[in-house]
Amino acid sequence: MTYFPKLVALAISATTPLLASAGQWEAPLNGIVSSVITQGYDSYTESSKVLQQRSEALCAAPSEQALQTAQEAFQANALDWQQVQWLNFGPVTYFMRYYAFEYWPDKKGVTQRQLRALSQGDPSVMDAPKFWTSASIAVRGLTAVESLLYHPDFEPIQSSNHCRLLEKVTAHHFESADAVAKQWQEGKAEDWVFDEEGTGFDPEKVALEQFLQQWIEHMSAVKDAKLETPIGYNGRENLKLAEFYRSDLSLKAIQKNLQSYREIYHAGSPSLYTMAKQTNPILATQLDEQLIQNVKLSLQLPNNFFHADQPNNDRTSIARPLVKSISNSQSYLASLVTQLGFQIGFNSRDGD
């Protein structure tokens, strides 16, 4: 997602305090890595492979049924991405993979232009060993696949060039997802934080702090970029800015994001929720209840919420309870992590 800028390697300042009890945050950190990130990328990789296979089947025997099957595989893969989309940290930062997995919002139609250029050029260039590691992020992932399967400019049933391009993109997409999944299986979060000043620090706390920062920022992006901006909540409506609007996944993506938040909160034994209850039980419970409310409110939105046939004023009024609920969640989460001793800094995802 281009809305989310890349995190650089973390430099720990000399003022970062050491924990009184080393290993205090091991359980929630490892729980999030195991049950949310690693399992999430395993699912994402599996559905990426299915998407590649269905694309190959479409090109081998083009038909409307084969296209629909490939589109269904895309939808499953795009929703699996929502489970891990909140975290731009670790292996996904290699080769700009995070942005390549989803180049959104593409306000200037860069993806379509570059895909058209590739489909009209020499297809053999895509077979070069280093082509995909240096190719534009706009043509390397889900945004490109959605265009090839749904945009009227592309006809994978009729055009062998378009279908060949679909095969190449989905093959690279699977390889990227698989590489990230394997790196999470073989490594750990602490591998991605560095004591550059040599002052000593607790890597588990610092890694978890990065997770919490990313969670808060993603929550803000879901509310602002995914929900408010497309429907013109605070401005002019432009439904084409909704995430995955061509494949009609905009609402489902938000619902999946909100469901993943509570999984983060409850991962590990003890979980972040359990440890938060020891510090501030009222606030910890308020956040938990608000996360549940977010999911309930998102599921109450009509299936055609992002469709043009839904009146704008109705869409805004229908969304208001969810917008307020997510805002409350942000406040509760920010307050709670601060009370737990984490230092949450500037929201780098603001101001796209």
Residues 335 and 229 reside in one and the same domain: yes
Residue 327: CB atoms within 10 A of its CB come to: 14
At 53, the amino acid letter reads: Q
11 falls within a domain: no
Question: How many domains are there within the chain?
Answer: 2
The answer to whether position 347 is within a domain reads no
| Domain match, 245 and 285 both | yes
Burial 257-295 (b: 16+ CB within 10 A, else e): bbbbbbbbbbbbeebbbebbbeeeeebbebbbebbebbb
Query: Is residue 246 a part of any domain in this protein?
Result: yes
- Supply the range of the domain harboring residue 39: 30-186
Asked if residue 17 is part of any domain, the answer here is no
Do 290 and 331 fall into the same domain?
A: yes
Per-run averaged pLDDT (10 residues), the chain, 352 residues: 44 36 88 98 98 98 98 98 98 96 96 96 89 94 98 97 97 98 97 83 94 97 98 95 98 98 98 97 98 98 93 89 98 96 70 40
Q: What is the reported pLDDT for 21?
A: 57
- Among 186, 219, 247, the domain-final residue is 186
Cα(6)–Cα(93) distance, rounded to whole angstroms? 7
For position 201, what pLDDT does the model report?
Answer: 86
Domain end: 128, 158, 186, which one? 186
Q: Output DSSP code: residue 126.
A: G
Same domain, residue pair 118 and 217: no
**Are residues 159 and 205 both part of a single domain?**
no
Same domain for 165 and 89, yes or no, is: yes
Residue 286 located in a structural domain: yes
Q: Position of tokens 């992006």?
A: 221
| End-of-domain residue from the set 158, 186, 214 | 186
* One domain, residues 154 and 38: yes
DSSP labels, 192-220: GEE-TT-S---HHHHHHHHHHHHHHHHHH
Class of residue 194 by CB neighbours under 10 A (exposed 0-12, middle 13-18, buried 19+): middle
Do 101 and 225 sit in the same domain of this protein?
Answer: no
First to last CA, the chain: 11
What pLDDT does residue 16 have?
Answer: 38
Q: State how far the Cα of 319 lies from the Cα of 180, in Å rounded to an integer.
A: 35
Q: Does residue 351 form part of some domain? A: no
- On the CB side of 192, how many CA atoms lie within 13 Å of its CA? 22
- If asked whether residues 214 and 328 sit together in one domain, one would say yes
- Within a domain: residue 20? no
- Does residue 56 belong to any structural domain of this protein? yes
- 278: three-class secondary structure by DSSP: helix
Q: Is the same domain home to 174 and 217?
A: no
How far apart CA 292 and CA 294 sit, in angstroms, is: 5
CATH for 175 = 1.20.1420.20
Burial bucket for residue 300 (CB in 10 Å: 0-12, 13-18, 19+): exposed
